[in-house]
A and B are shown apart, each in its own frame.
Chain A
Amino acid sequence: MIKVVNLSKTYVAKGKSRTIFKNINFTINKGESVALLGRNGAGKSTLLNIIGGVDQPDSGEVVRNCSVSWPLGLVGGFQGSLSARENVMFVSKLMYGNKSFLIKKTIDFVESFAEIGNYFDLPFKTYSSGMRLRVTFGLSMAFSFDFYLIDEITSVGDQKFRQKCNEFLVNKVAQSSFIMVNHNLNALKDYCDKAIVLHNGNALMYNSLSEAIKMHKYLLFE
């Protein structure tokens, strides 16, 4: 269960402060997959980052009673001068400690998932953006979380890779829950059954995705 309690967030840039959320509350139970809807700049990615613990709110808190992934789709946390193998090793050590069997399994999985050949042992900074995505996405698929935070991931990469991603995501959504941001509304329908619409600092929870999309479109074109 993820419980968001009285969350507020304000960004200050050049002396002007902009409120992203004001006192929002919602609860997402285990087994529910939720789409985040809202116009550009409504705070979808910010909310995802706060739930993932990458960013901190000004006030309020996020209660997590289960394992939550890092935000997928962002290429962060990788050291450019290290190879993909070493980076994956680092994250597996972070997750598993010293269990060498599990670490080896993770590295093998990511290597076969990414399909980037020799590049797997070259410095990460020499990769193209597509190759980076292959590695980071493979890494997130290697662990099983209760909640996956997914930010615009299905819209990048070549067609074959996108297909592969979708296959994995469909398998994952059967066991875990997703919190998803995607401007392609049809893609959301494959994974989510609920939705949260972000508008003017408020968050509205909808139990049906189609209703939420209707509202979202109305707010977009009003």
Chain B
Amino acid sequence: MTLNKNSYFYRYLLRVKSGLKIQINVIRSLIYREFITRASLVKFGYFGILIEPLGIMSIFLAIFTLIRRRNVGGNLDVLIFLISGIVIYTLFNAIAIRSMNSMDANKSLFFYRQIQPIDTIFSRTIVEVFIYTLVFIILVSLAFIFKEIFSISDFSLIVISFISLSIYSMGIGIFLMIATFRYEWVKSVVQFLQRPLWFLSGVFFSLNDIPQTIRPYISWNPIIQSIELTRHAFSNSYPLNDAVSLPYLIKVSLGVLTISLWLYNKNSRILKTK
């Protein structure tokens, strides 16, 4: 089939192609900038970027392994149980909550016309996913070596729930960027809700520990869903509650992203107004 070069469709394709090329350049350069900026703020260069999250998480793990000595469910190791929780929650926090401030932090970037507010969130998501994937691998490997165990029952489930949560976090990040830009009070509300969210996300408990009556009020949270799925993926013997399901997590992630992108489309012009 030959394509008429003057057809609407052909011109549309060309527009999409050149737009995509610009956006890829923008995201690439933003990723470059994000990495060198972070490296310039810490010691030991690029390796230093990993030290901060590793340090904070190690202290958390040390404290909570002492508290949670008892069995966490099935044959799952306590350390793996806690690592899954803290890494996934911190990933959400790094992408979604910090995107809230991205409008202020990146205002000077909109000096270059190509850069759109959403590009800063795309690139931040890619950078954070990269960093926390490495952190996750390092922590889990250390736990395996230290405890002399090896248990991964379903590797693909770990990957899928990690990706789904990244998409969910990005959707929430876009939403919060728009909301805080339009209504400043949203920022204080989110900061107020941040603590309870940490407790409700199941970072250091299992959904099975929660009494049946209040379980539905907690299980809707995609973060706890992703954490529980990851734990189950490390060891099949870890009991998966009926309220947890992968299709639910994927649906919520894609739904949130769709709504956020729609809202962004409506608001993109206002976001760049001084």
List the interface of chain A (C-beta within 8 A of B). 49, 52-56, 68, 70, 74, 76-79, 81-82, 86, 89-91, 93-98, 123
Contact = CB atoms under 8 A, between A and B. Distances in A.
B34 to A, nearest CB: 10
A101 to B, nearest CB: 16
B25 A54 contact: no
Contacts of A56: 269-270, 272-274
Contact of A97 (B28, B41, B108, B110): B28
Nearest to A93: B29
Contacts of A91: 29, 112
Given A55-B274, A56-B270, 20 more contacts: A49-B274, A53-B272, A54-B274, A55-B272, A56-B269, A56-B272, A56-B273, A77-B111, A79-B33, A79-B37, A81-B37, A82-B40, A90-B29, A90-B32, A90-B33, A93-B25, A94-B114, A95-B25, A98-B28, A123-B40
A85 to B, nearest CB: 10
B26 interface: yes
A76 B110 CA distance: 9
Contacts of A93: 25, 28-29, 32
B206 to A, nearest CB: 42
A70 B111 contact: yes
A70 B113 contact: yes
Interface in B104-139: 108-115
21 contacts: A53-B113, A53-B272, A54-B111, A54-B113, A54-B274, A55-B273, A55-B274, A56-B269, A56-B273, A70-B113, A76-B111, A77-B112, A79-B37, A86-B36, A90-B33, A91-B29, A93-B28, A93-B29, A94-B29, A97-B28, A123-B40
A94 B37 contact: no
Nearest to A55: B274
Contacts of A86: 33, 36, 40
A91 B30 CA distance: 10
Interface residues of B, number: 25
B21 A94 contact: no
A123 B39 CA distance: 13
Interface in B26-57: 26, 28-29, 32-33, 36-37, 40-41
A146 B83 CA distance: 54
The 6 closest A-B pairs by CB, nearest first: A53-B113, A77-B111, A93-B29, A76-B111, A56-B273, A94-B29
Nearest to A86: B36
Contacts of A98: 28
A104 to B, nearest CB: 15
Interface in B70-115: 108-115
B5 to A, nearest CB: 19
B263 interface: no
B38 to A, nearest CB: 10
B22 to A, nearest CB: 9
Interface string B230-274: 000000000000000000000000000000000000000110111
Contacts of B110: 54
Contacts of B24: 97
Contacts of B113: 52-54, 68, 70
B28 A81 contact: no
Contacts of A95: 25
Nearest to B273: A56
Contacts of B112: 70, 77, 91, 94
A136 to B, nearest CB: 10
Contacts of A70: 111-113
B270 A82 contact: no
Contact of B109 (A49, A77, A82): A77
Interface in B142-184: none
A34 to B, nearest CB: 19
A97 B111 contact: no
Given A74-B111, A94-B26, A81 B32 contact: no
B21 A97 contact: yes
Contacts of B274: 49, 54-56
